[in-house]
Chain A
Amino acid sequence: MIKNKKGALEFSFTWIFAIIAGMFILFLAIYGVTKFMNMERNTQDAKTAMGIGVLTNPLESSFETTTRTMIGLPVETRIYTGCKNLSGFFGEQTIKVSQKTYNEWSTEGVNVSFPNKYIFSENPAEGKNFYLFSKPFELPFKVADLIYLTSTKDKYCFKNAPNNIKKEIENLIGLNPSANENFFTKDLDCPEGSINICFSGGNDCNIRVNVNSNYVEKDSKKMYYKGDALMYAAIFSNKNDYECQLDRLMKRTGQLSDIYRDKSTFVFEKTGCDFELDSRLVLLKNNAENLGNSENLNTIYSLAEDIARENDYGVCRLW
């Protein structure tokens, strides 16, 4: 009996050693696998974010047209669009995504940056299918194409929209609205729980657009606009992102002013064609780069209109 007990004790020591070492290895393995899975998820999220950015390339338009495309993702996704106006000369559009796997949202992935994109969307936009449409932003020359991203889950009801807006939305919807349609112009068609965008007052409005004073009121914050492109931008984004993107757009306006000024000198030396816009382009650049916020858009727009008139009726056109 004593002999047996001794044997049992010797056996136990080996086992205790094996169990502790095994647990250590198992812990390391589980830790490694978890880390690897997280890395895999982050990679997937980054790839999706980059893919979304790349897919917006075809939205670069040549005419004043509004085009819409749909992107479908294999799983439920949250798209976070962000804006950095201090990074680089032109700032950056950032995109990151979080995807739902096994009924659980992954942590927000890494930010993928695009210096040449301007995306306006809810933050985050959540769903499996997303509509993208774009409109050119001009001041007075084309500065960029603004891209609007909406989830098909978010239904937007445009109430009492002016005719041009209504027509444009109806063009986007097309003759046969799809089951995923998320824009509605007729009150009766608006599904329950839709986001109401009111153009001339009314009750139950989530977003109010004042077409006379040129501002959009969302979450009790006012975003001033000029032109339809900025109006849609204000509707689909939030105050912080809108102001930041506007700042980025102004930086690009300033840079394009420089290019057009150099071009006018260049063409004048070559052909003798005088555009007479140099001083006003300098002023436009200064105004654009010192805009501050959307409230000051009126000043720069009156100058832009003046420049546009000069360009349209000049002997040679600069753009």
Chain B
Amino acid sequence: MVNKSAQMKNKKIFQLPNKKNGQGMKSKISPASPFAKKAQMKIQQMSFMLIAVFLFFALVGMIIITVKFSGLKQDATDLRDRNAMLLASKLANSPEFSCGEVYGNQKTDCIDEDKVMALKENIGKYENVGKNTNFWGVSNIEIRRIYPKYENITCTPVNYPKCDTIILIDKPISGFDHSNFVALCRKEKYKDEVVNKCEMARVILWYEEVK
């Protein structure tokens, strides 16, 4: 009997809102009672706690992602660095630069200056071939004559060969570089004879840091 009356009481306490009489959510615990206030406080407490926990995890996640991405940028820059370094040692052998057999037998680390000047005229197709990159994956290529020196003049078809530096891609040079020493050879006319002229130069490959 006691159990039955207790069930009845419980039913009354948790009855569904009655829209007809406008007395929805009416319980026997009045809003002013200390029980209701305690429950509200607990829910409030928990909500604050949950928001705090959520924010904490979000913050930790963001910090981890930031650290990770800065590492990723460093990794990407390192790969660019390695690409430039390995390419610097082999660029002279690629078909757009190599001397081939023009100046006698095949030579290693020999750049055909006449061919590079022709390449400079045709550089458009080698630029922006992929996603913001050129054909070789470096930001610029510079060939600097070491000896004999002129007055730091950049080569153009007009002043060639009395110049020092061939900048392949027509944009300002910036970033980091790797270089290699090469022989820079060209055909010249000397006393009605066509002669081969080879000078010492440095091929410099520029790359930019990933930002």
Classify chain A: how many residues form its interface, as a range.
35 or more
- Contacting pair B75 A61 (CB below 8 A): no
- Residues A247-265 near B (CB distance < 8 A): 252, 255-256, 258-260, 262-263
- Contacting pair A58 B101 (CB below 8 A): no
Q: Is B102 an interface residue (CB 8 A)?
A: yes
Bound-complex Cα distance A14 to B47 (A): 11
Q: Which residue of A lies closest to B190 (CB)?
A: A271
Q: A114-B137, A255-B122 are in contact. Are A47 and B75 (CB under 8 A)?
A: yes
Does more than half of chain A's interface fall in helix, strand or loop, or is it mixed? helix
Q: Which residues of B contact A116 (CB under 8 A)?
A: 94, 135-137
- Contacting pair B194 A5 (CB below 8 A): no
- Contacting pair A43 B72 (CB below 8 A): yes
Q: Chain B's nearest CB lies how many Å from the CB of A86?
A: 12
> Quick one: which of A18, A58, A318 contacts B89, CB cutoff 8 A?
A58
Q: Which residues of B contact A270 (CB under 8 A)?
A: 114, 187-189
Interface string of A211-224 (1 = CB under 8 A from B): 00000000000000
**Chain B CB within 10 Å — which of A40, A262, A272 has the most?**
A262
Bound-complex Cα distance A58 to B83 (A): 10
Q: Which residues of A contact B75 (CB under 8 A)?
A: 47
**Chain B CB within 10 Å — which of A43, A55, A60, A256 has the most?**
A60
Q: A2-B6, A57-B90, A115-B129 are in contact. Are A259 and B137 (CB under 8 A)?
A: no
- Contacting pair B46 A17 (CB below 8 A): yes
Classify chain B: how many residues form its interface, as a range.
35 or more
- Residues B78-109 near A (CB distance < 8 A): 79, 82-83, 86-87, 89-96, 98, 100-102, 106-109
Q: A10-B39, A142-B95 are in contact. Are A260 and B6 (CB under 8 A)?
A: no
- Contacting pair B119 A259 (CB below 8 A): yes
Q: Is B175 an interface residue (CB 8 A)?
A: no
Q: Which residues of A contact B87 (CB under 8 A)?
A: 57
- Residues A21-40 near B (CB distance < 8 A): 21, 25, 28-29, 32, 36, 40
- Contacting pair B90 A115 (CB below 8 A): no
- Contacting pair A47 B129 (CB below 8 A): no
Q: Which residue of A lies closest to B109 (CB)?
A: A62
Q: Is A273 an interface residue (CB 8 A)?
A: yes
Q: Which residues of A contact B170 (CB under 8 A)?
A: none
Q: In the A-B complex, list the 9 residue pairs whose CB atoms are closest, starting with the nearest.
A: A88-B129, A57-B86, A262-B118, A60-B90, A263-B118, A319-B100, A62-B93, A115-B129, A271-B189
14 A-B pairs in the complex with CB atoms less than 8 angstroms apart: A28-B57, A47-B79, A57-B86, A58-B90, A60-B90, A62-B107, A90-B129, A90-B135, A255-B125, A316-B102, A316-B194, A317-B101, A318-B102, A319-B101
Chain B interface residues (CB < 8 Å from chain A): 2, 6, 9-10, 35, 39, 42-43, 46, 50, 53-54, 57, 61, 64-65, 68, 72, 75, 79, 82-83, 86-87, 89-96, 98, 100-102, 106-109, 112, 114-115, 117-119, 121-122, 125-126, 128-131, 133, 135-137, 157, 187-189, 194
Given contacts A2-B9, A89-B129, 6 further A-B contacts (CB under 8 A): A54-B79, A62-B98, A62-B109, A252-B95, A260-B118, A270-B189
